[in-house]
Chains A and B, each alone.
Chain A
């Protein structure tokens, strides 16, 4: 155990001290910050005003949608079909349809549009609707208590009970008037982002593990080391060490990117009246009724200031589950693939020989990215299910699915299978690695690898 820590330490320190690590750590956040800031900047400069028609069958949102800087609302009195038919001629950008609820209050709405709907519009509508609903519920609850003046007001309890999540479906109205779902929801962006992140992490740092193994093999130091430690310890030490390097880099990226973005957007808002999206949301919320504005204030006070507003927009996502499973799939997925990369490194003599063995490993990874579009369209279909259960594809696919809501048993099943997959690949990799690192100058075939696996 002490030896494996020594190996981890060496793998970690030698990599973190490299110049390329420092360069990547600085360049990464700059690039990422730029990809965040530039669109915001452009959007605030050339944002055109969106016109949204509201068809409210429930009748409780009449005149509740206040115009904001770049969203104008007007109200229709019509039925859905004729509204949709007239939509193209009307010059509106979107049609918000709030159906009449069967019982209770409405909690969902449909946003029709010709092209994809701006996320700003969606989050604004969502905000207004949930504030309105919460306000109504709050009034109803308060009335119950007001009749009995002696009873203490359970404020926390009330606040919790009125909290309302609004579900907004976005549908596209095509040229032919037909509807198809559009996918600009934050869920999708979030899922894709998490999936891509895992994909890149596995590729980037899995390849580093492989290169590290090849380096030890070509420099011929490996035999010296495995006369002191077991090959398995060396392999796991390397995998964990490189993984920690990845985590370090990743954390630095997140912190630095966040820092740069807040800094730059701060300058942008302070400098000249151009408004980036975060301040937009705040202003939009200020335009709401004073009571709800107060409530937002209260809610965000506990959170981290401006972040609270973004969180508000992401209300529908279950964040504890999202973050928890991201960390899990991120780490275990990496461990599973890194073992395979280590096995390849052990089996070959130089990096140019890795091609034939890389193929079967990269296929499931690439496939899960290629399938992402399909999975987003049908996040709970059988294909999505199987892809998110099978260990080699589950880290990426499951992360894409989770923002859309996945039954817990499926997540649990996928996690258990992933752990089994990790144990399986590690066992297999250890066998190949152990024999491979002592073989020089030999072109290895799959048959040969299979023989190695069966050695005692």
Chain B
């Protein structure tokens, strides 16, 4: 079941179209990556989901009914451009923001105390925000985003400004939120974290969705039947012995071995490759080269053909 879906959402600004018939489906209890280069329209889409701005056209559904204003109590949003009132104390501020999400004061205090203990930041409760470092502020912001236990969480670049230790803490928290049943929409430029966390993605470029689906499937389609072989012989020895439609893409060497990336023709298997080279060289390792999300991102975005290569 989809917890959230958008169908043919279009948003026109005076000078440009921020979103052009964008459709996404966010399955319940998944981590959904919303990717795209700067200015592609990700933030516009996120703001539409949060009902900060209204789309010109298109349909938005939340938990199998049209998205309504009261649904914001079930959505938590950590914007990319985020901050806190500098002159307010951390505790007062957290209570205020929790109350705005519909919690009663007592409930807000109770839950905040729990989370502050858990994050070991209880000592900051009475301090003013301007006395905190940026990383500390980010922690507080993360807490107030999840304090009302929303069904759907939207994180826009959540890791920016965090050190590696806190990044890990945050990742673990995100995964445990998913375990508790929440759905997370996750927008980032950090492709490593996408591979680590996301179940599904949608890639937006120039106001359109150009790629979407599960991370597994997308990787499968972007595979090029390329293998890396580690062996032991002289340079330039391989190509002559290979069948003509096998292509050596690159060769390199380290202190122990020589490595080559070889693209196989459609239908050929690594066995065919080994068969061809084993009589000549000693093979130490063979592995399939699976494209990283980073490669896929760059490839999809730089492809000049604007034809959306969608699949599901």
Interface residue B52 (Cβ < 8 Å from any Cβ of A): yes
**Does A14 interact with chain B (Cβ within 8 Å)?**
yes
Task: Please state if B97 and A224 are interface contacts (CB–CB under 8 Å).
Answer: yes
**A227-B54 CB under 8 A given contacts A3-B100, A219-B85:** no
From B14, B87, B97, A228 is in contact (CB under 8 Å) with B97
Chain B residue numbers with a CB within 8 Å of A231 are 52
Point out residues on A near B: beta carbons under 8 Å.
3, 6-7, 10, 14, 215-216, 219-221, 223-231, 438, 440, 451, 455-456
If A3-B100, A438-B47, A438-B52 touch, whether A227 touches B85 (CB-CB below 8 Å) is no
Contact A440 to B81, CB < 8 A, known contacts A14-B87, A224-B141, A456-B56 = yes
Q: CA separation between A10 and B96, bound complex, in Å?
A: 8
Contact with A along B79-111 (1 / 0, CB 8 A): 101111111100000001101110000000000
Given contacts A14-B88, A219-B83, A227-B72, 10 further A-B pairs with CB under 8 A are A220-B81, A224-B79, A224-B97, A224-B141, A225-B100, A226-B52, A227-B50, A227-B52, A227-B79, A230-B69
Q: Is the CB of B88 within 8 A of A220?
A: no
Q: Which residues of B contact A216 (CB under 8 A)?
A: 85
Whether B52 contacts A6 by the Cβ 8 Å rule is: no
Least Cβ–Cβ distance between A32 and chain B, in angstroms: 29
By a CB distance below 8 angstroms, the chain B residues around A221 are: 82-85
Find out whether the CB atom of B75 lies under 8 angstroms from the CB atom of A227: yes
Asked if B77 lies at the interface with its beta carbon under 8 angstroms from chain A, I say: yes
Cα-based distance from A231 to B101 in the complex (angstroms): 14
Least CB distance from A348 to B in Å reads: 16
Report how far A440 CA is from B43 CA in the complex, Å. Answer: 13
Among A6, A219, A223, A451, the residue within 8 A (CB) of B96 is A6
28 interchain pairs, CB-CB under 8 A: A6-B99, A6-B100, A7-B100, A14-B88, A215-B85, A216-B85, A219-B84, A219-B85, A220-B79, A220-B81, A220-B82, A220-B83, A221-B84, A223-B52, A223-B77, A223-B79, A224-B141, A227-B50, A227-B52, A227-B75, A227-B77, A228-B97, A230-B69, A231-B52, A438-B47, A438-B52, A438-B53, A451-B14
Most B Cβ at <10 Å: residue of A14, A224, A226, A440: A224
Within the complex, the shortest CB–CB distance from B91 to chain A, in Å, comes to 13
Contacts of A226 in B (CB 8 A): 52
- With A14-B87, A223-B81: A228-B54 Cβ-Cβ less than 8 Å: no
How far, in whole Å, are A6 and B79 apart by their CA atoms in the complex? Answer: 22
Interface residue count for B (Cβ, 8 Å)? 30
Q: Are B83 and A228 in contact, CB atoms less than 8 angstroms apart? A: no
- Greatest chain B CB density within 10 A among A14, A216, A223, A438 is at A223
A456–B14 Cα distance when bound, in Å, is: 11
Give, as a whole number of angstroms, the nearest-CB distance from A222 to chain B: 8
User: By the criterion CB–CB under 8 Å, are B82 and A224 in contact?
Assistant: yes
Alpha-carbon distance A10/B87, docked complex (angstroms) = 12
Does B52 contact A225, Cβ atoms closer than 8 Å? no
For A223, the chain B residues whose CB sits under 8 A away are: 52, 77, 79, 81-82
Q: Which of B58-78 contact A (CB under 8 A)?
A: 69, 72, 75, 77-78
CA distance A219 to B144 in the complex (A): 16
Give the most central of B78, B83, B100: most A CB within 10 Å: B100
Cβ 8 A contact of B77, one of A14, A215, A224, A440: A224
Q: Which residue of A lies closest to B56 (CB)?
A: A456
Mark each residue of chain B from 291 to 306: 1 if its CB lies under 8 Å from any CB of chain A, else 0.
Answer: 0000000000000000
Residues of B within 8 A of A224 (CB): 77-79, 82-83, 97, 141, 144-145
Distance in angstroms between the alpha carbons of A3 and B145 in the assembled complex: 17
Tell me the smallest distance from the CB of A345 to a CB of chain B, in Å: 15
Q: Which residue of chain B lies nearest to A229 when distances are taken between CB atoms in the complex?
A: B100
Which residues 184-242 of B have a CB within 8 angstroms of A?
none
User: When A and B form their complex, which 6 residue pairs have the shortest distance between CB atoms, in order from nearest?
Assistant: A220-B83, A228-B100, A227-B77, A219-B83, A223-B79, A227-B50
Bound together, the chains give a CA A21 to CA B97 distance in angstroms of: 25
Cβ contacts under 8 Å, A215 to chain B: 85-86
Distance (whole angstroms) from the CB of A19 to the closest CB of chain B:
11
CB contacts (< 8 Å) of B100 on chain A: these are 3, 6-7, 225, 228-229
- Write the B105-128 contact mask toward A (1 if CB under 8 angstroms, else 0): 000000000000000000000000
Q: In whole angstroms, what is the CA distance A231 to B53 when docked?
A: 10
**CB-defined contacts of B83 to chain A, threshold 8 Å:** 219-221, 224
Q: A230 to chain B: which residues have CB within 8 Å?
A: 69
Docked pose: A220 CA to B84 CA in angstroms? 7
Which residue of chain B has the shortest Cβ distance to A218 in the bound complex? B83
- A227: chain B residues within 8 A (beta carbon): 50, 52, 72, 75, 77, 79
Chain A nearest CB: distance from B301 CB in Å?
24
Cα distance A230–B78 when bound, in Å?
17
Cα A3 to Cα B79 in complex, Å, equals 20
Minimal beta-carbon separation of B188 from chain A (angstroms): 17
User: Closest Cβ of chain B: how far from A232's Cβ, in Å?
Assistant: 12
- Cα separation A229 to B14 with both chains bound (whole Å): 26
- Name the A residues within 8 Å of B14 (CB-CB): 451
The residues of B that contact A220 with a CB separation of less than 8 Å are: 79, 81-83
**Per-position contact with A for B143-154: 1 when CB-CB < 8 Å, else 0?**
011000000000
Taking the nearest CB of chain B, how far is it from the CB of A425, in angstroms? 22
* Chain B residue with the shortest CB-CB distance to A219: B83
B residues 17-42 near A (Cβ < 8 Å) are: none
B130 to chain A, nearest CB (A): 9
Q: Which of A3, A225, A226, A456 has the most CB of B within 10 A?
A: A226
- Minimum CB distance partner of A231 in chain B: B52
A-facing residues in B136-167 (Cβ within 8 Å)? 141, 144-145
Q: Please give me the residue from chain A that is nearest to B50 by CB atom.
A: A227
| Cα distance, A215 to B86, chains bound together (Å) | 9
User: How far, in Å, is A447 (CB) from chain B's closest CB?
Assistant: 9
Q: Which of B273-294 contact A (CB under 8 A)?
A: none
Chain A residues, Cβ within 8 Å of B145: 224
Which residue in chain B gives the minimum CB-CB distance to A18?
A: B87
B97 → chain A closest CB, angstroms: 7
